[in-house]
Amino acid sequence: MIKHLTHYLLAIATIVTLTIVTDSLSGARTVHADTDGQSENYDQIYKVAKAKLGTPYSYGATGPSRFDCSGFTQYVYRNGGDQKIARTAQAQYNTTQKVSKANRQKGDLVYFGSSKRSISHVGLYIGNGKMINAQNRGVIVEAVASPWWNAVGYSRP
């Protein structure tokens, strides 16, 4: 009974959070240049990411019905930006253009771990200190600055 109540309360909290964040972000538009100098349309990347909100998490999954963190970011960039990026969070960090926290933009990737050489998680930065990421609760919107994450860097695919 308590387990079901906990799942129910988490689901309600997630829906409320997503509704608030989605309402505050609707209509947001940012375009930035990728490493080749071609414009990537954040709106399309965000649209693909947003469409996957609520999709379940599964270690090693690359979508479209289940994701792990880097499988999610890879999927979003492939389907929203027509861009191929590496498979794992560490490889995505290692092979993309680094940007500082001060210069991060919507559509950049944010990385977490104990250091830049030990990255264990990645999310899609959507502005206002928020990201969309695939984690044990599925694909959700949450704050980059959370007690359970240690942000170690940003990059721009």
Report pTM. 0.75
The rounded distance, in Å, linking the Cα atoms of 59 and 52 is 16
Return the exposure string of 41-52: e unless at least 16 CB atoms fall within 10 Å of the residue's CB, then b: bbbebbebbbeb
Domains of the chain, with CATH numbers? 2-156 (3.90.1720.10)
Going by C-alpha positions, the residue among 143, 152, 125, 145 that lies closest to residue 45 is: 125
Going by C-alpha positions, the residue among 12, 18, 138 that lies closest to residue 4 is: 12
Q: Counting every residue, how long is the chain?
A: 157
Mean pLDDT of 73-82: 96
Please report the pLDDT score of residue 41 as a whole number.
Answer: 78
Is the peptide bond preceding residue 56 cis, with omega within 30 degrees of 0? no
Please report the pLDDT score of residue 24 as a whole number.
Answer: 37
| Pairing status of strand 97-99 against strand 109-115 | unpaired
Per-residue pLDDT tens digits for 98-152: 999 999 999 999 999 999 999 999 999 999 999 999 999 999 999 999 998 999 9
Q: Where in the sequence numbering do the catalytic residues fall? A: 69, 121, 133
